[in-house]
Amino acid sequence: MPEPVRSAYLRASAAAVASIVADYRASAGIDVTHDRADQDAGSQPATPVTVVQQDWGARLGHDAAEVWHAWAPDLGHRLTGAGHFMAEEAPGEITGAIRGLLLR
C-alpha cells in the first residue's frame, strides 16, 4: 500500500483502533468458542453467506469453501488476487461480491 494511502487510512481509522483490536481478540478467543457451540448444536445461518478467499490461500491448499459449506449451506465462494486490504485493493470486485450476496 503506498505511503500516502496508508497514512490516510490510519488517520481515518484512528478512532476505531480499539474496536479493531477487540474484534481480532474475539476472533481468536471467544468467537471460536461460540462458533463451536453453534456448530455442535447444529445451528446454521438463516441467511446466505459469501466467502471471498485470497487465491494464494487456495494455492496453499486451504479450501475456505469446504470449511464454510459444512456450516452455511447457502454459500457463495469467490477467489480474489487482492491482499489483506481486499476492499481497498479490489473495490469493484468486493463491491460485486457484496451486491451478489444482497441479491441472493
Mark whether 51 and 100 lie in a shared domain: yes
Mark whether 32 and 49 lie in a shared domain: no
Domain count, the chain: 2
Mark whether 39 and 49 lie in a shared domain: no
Q: Which domain holds residue 15?
A: 1-43
Mark whether 56 and 27 lie in a shared domain: no
CA distance 66 to 77: 10
At 7 the pLDDT is 92
Strands, DSSP E only, in the chain?
A: 49-54, 75-80
What does pTM read for this prediction? 0.71
Q: Would you tell me how many other CB atoms lie within 10 Å of the CB of residue 90?
A: 17
pLDDT per residue, tens digit, the chain (104 aa), is 789 988 998 898 888 989 988 988 888 889 889 988 998 999 998 999 999 999 988 888 888 999 898 889 899 999 999 988 899 899 999 999 999 999 98
How is residue 47 annotated by DSSP?
Answer: S
Mark whether 1 and 48 lie in a shared domain: no
Mark whether 63 and 82 lie in a shared domain: yes
Mark whether 14 and 38 lie in a shared domain: yes
At 20 the pLDDT is 86
Mark whether 37 and 50 lie in a shared domain: no
Mark whether 34 and 5 lie in a shared domain: yes
